[in-house]
Structure 1
Amino acid sequence: MKIKVVPYLLPNVSLKDSGSYLECPIENLAEGLKANAYYFSHPEWAEEYLTYCHRSEAFRSRWAAAVGDWTDKIVVDIGCGPGNIFATLQGKPKFLIGVDVAPGSLELAKNLAYVPLLADATHLPFVSGFADIVVLNATLHHCDDMAAILKEAARLVKPGGLIVTDHDPQLYAWDYKGIAKLLWQARLYIYKITGHGFHKTDSQQEWGLACETHHKPGHGVTKEFFLTTLSPLGFEVKVYPHNHALGAEVLQGNKGRAELKYRIGNLLSGRNPSADTSALSLMCVAKRKNVETSAA
């Protein structure tokens, strides 16, 4: 496992081989990432996430259209968790690296043919420009500095290569106001009473919420965030708003329809629930320009 990754490492980098994953020591792990490490290392929770999250046909179709054929390509999955992207898309990439902070998740990812690496995604131990595709699914909003993560991901991409991100909440859609914000704050009690929600126990819910650093009113990604972060680095950036309901159609500009509760939340916040800025998530597909194209 360690031998495979050596050609792509920066000079003087030494990785520890735990047997189940490689490790690049992390100093001063932020509180949100500590929560991620705990949540996704909890065996039952990580297995549940791998089994039930990001498994819909819409998700598979959307990601397959965005990534294209990754046969014989070098792929880096940042925030890989237990391996959702590859578990859903399958295929035969030449080399598949999964980066995360949760040892338990990395152990599961290893079983899915990832080369798993525990590392700080703002300071990855890799050379620049070696990856054909870098993916970040539901990753940015779990991190303190979303721009730093995205810039580091961009550094790894070779000319002509891709960055694909998805499932980060769009800032405007979740910026609830007035009554909508009160309902948002009360949602946990509502879920507990109705038995609705992904988390089965109070502890799972508490740690799951602690992971969500930027998934709250006033937080999230924007189209401007992706453009201003990636365009100066030589990327052609396309951003697609969507509501998780559609697949490849999203890349043709179709958002799909959000669930009623989200549409009501936007209406109560004084926004048009059908507007692009009211869509729940943004998918970003950014291609690094070839050197010749950039020079021209």
Structure 2
Amino acid sequence: MLSAIKPFLRADASVEERDEYLEVPIMQPSEAIKANAYYFNHPEWAEEYLIYCHRSESFRSRWQAAIGSWEDKVVVDIGCGPGNIFATLKGNPKLLIGIDVAPKSLEFAKAQGYLPLLADATNLPFQSQFADIVTLNATLHHCEDMEAILKEAARLVKPGGLLITDHDPQLSAWEYKGLAKLLWNGRLFVYKITGHGFHKTDSQQEWGLACEIHHKPGHGVTRQLFTDTLKPLGFDVQVFPHNHDLGAEVLEAKTGKAEMKYRIGNLLSGRNPDADTSALSLMCVAKKQLIAVA
């Protein structure tokens, strides 16, 4: 495994080879890294995530339209988890590197076809500008410093290459107010009574929520985060607000329709639920310019 990425490593990089993955030891993990490592290292939880999350036809269609083709290309998937993107899209990249902080998820990702690397996404061991495509799906909101992660991802993209992010909550859509915020705060109690919700146990729910640092009212990504971070680094940036039922149409500036509970949340917060700013997620498709910005 190490030989496959050696041409792309920085001269000072220290990468250790484990049985199932490569590792850049994280000496002082943040609270977010600890939470994500715990949740996604749980075999049952990681497998459930692989089976049930980001596996829909709308997801496949949206990502396929954004990527185009990754045949014979070098791809880096930051926050790959157990390998959902490649498990859904398939194909034949020249090299597919998956980066995460949870060993068990990296084992699942390896089985999907990734070259797995355990590392802190704010300080990756790679040279700059070596990847054709860098992806971050549902990754930024799991990290304390979203801008730092985005900048480090951008550093890896070669001129003409793509940086694609998706499925991070849009701040303006999750900025619940008044009664909507009270209902949001009480949702866990309702889920527990009704048995509704993805998580099966209180422990799984507790750690799942601990992972999602910026998925709550007052948090999330913005169009400005992507444009202000990536444009100065030489990227042409497109940002597409969307709900989760649309595929390739998202890249045609269509947002789709959110579930009723989210529409009610926006209405109770005094917002138009059909506005772009009420769409649950933002997808960013950024292309690195061939000519450096002066």
Identify whether the pair has TM-score above 0.5, normalized to the shorter chain.
yes
- Show the 5 A alignment for 1:26-37: 26-37=26-37
Shift of 1:19: 1.2
Partner of 1:248: 248
Q: Does 1:285 align with 2:255?
A: no
Q: Deviations over 1:12-71 (max 9, x none)?
A: 212111110000011221112211101101000000000010011000000000011100
Partner of 1:172: 172
Q: Does 1:235 align with 2:231?
A: no
Q: Which residue identity does 1:281 align to in structure 2?
A: S
Q: Which residue identity does 2:30 align to in structure 1?
A: A
Q: Deviations over 1:212-263 (max 9, x none)?
A: 0000100000011100000000000000000011000000011000000000
Q: C-alpha separation between the residues in 2 aligned to 1:21 and 1:42?
A: 16
Normalised TM-score (structure 2): 0.99
Q: C-alpha separation between the residues in 2 aligned to 1:247 and 1:63?
A: 8
Moved over 3 A (4+): none
Partner of 2:109: 109
Q: Which residue identity does 1:173 align to in structure 2?
A: A
- Show the 5 A alignment for 1:1-296: 1-291=1-291, 294=293
What is the SS of the residue equivalent to 1:110? helix
Shift of 1:175: 0.6
Q: Which residue identity does 2:143 align to in structure 1?
A: C
What is the SS of the residue equivalent to 1:60? helix
Q: Which residue identity does 1:88 align to in structure 2?
A: T
Shift of 1:113: 1.3
What is the SS of the residue equivalent to 1:286? strand
Q: Which residue identity does 2:134 align to in structure 1?
A: V
- Long gaps (5+) in structure 2: none
Q: C-alpha separation between the residues in 1 aligned to 2:288 and 2:14?
A: 29
Q: Deviations over 1:94-139 (max 9, x none)?
A: 0000000011100111111111000010000000000000000000
What is the SS of the residue equivalent to 2:186? helix
Percent of pairs with identical residues: 73
What is the SS of the residue equivalent to 2:286? strand
Greater mean deviation of Cα atoms: 72-81 or 11-20: 11-20
What is the SS of the residue equivalent to 1:215? coil
Q: Which residue identity does 1:118 align to in structure 2?
A: L
Q: C-alpha separation between the residues in 1 aligned to 2:208 and 2:275?
A: 29
Q: C-alpha separation between the residues in 2 aligned to 1:28 and 1:188?
A: 32
Q: C-alpha separation between the residues in 1 aligned to 2:181 and 2:28?
A: 33
Q: C-alpha separation between the residues in 1 aligned to 2:113 and 2:35?
A: 25
Normalised TM-score (structure 1): 0.98
Aligned alpha-carbon RMSD (Å):
0.8
Q: Which residue identity does 1:224 align to in structure 2?
A: Q
Q: Which residue identity does 2:169 align to in structure 1?
A: P
Q: C-alpha separation between the residues in 2 aligned to 1:190 and 1:236?
A: 43
What is the SS of the residue equivalent to 1:111? helix
Q: Deviations over 1:167-194 (max 9, x none)?
A: 0000010010010000000000011111
Q: C-alpha separation between the residues in 2 aligned to 1:281 and 1:33?
A: 23
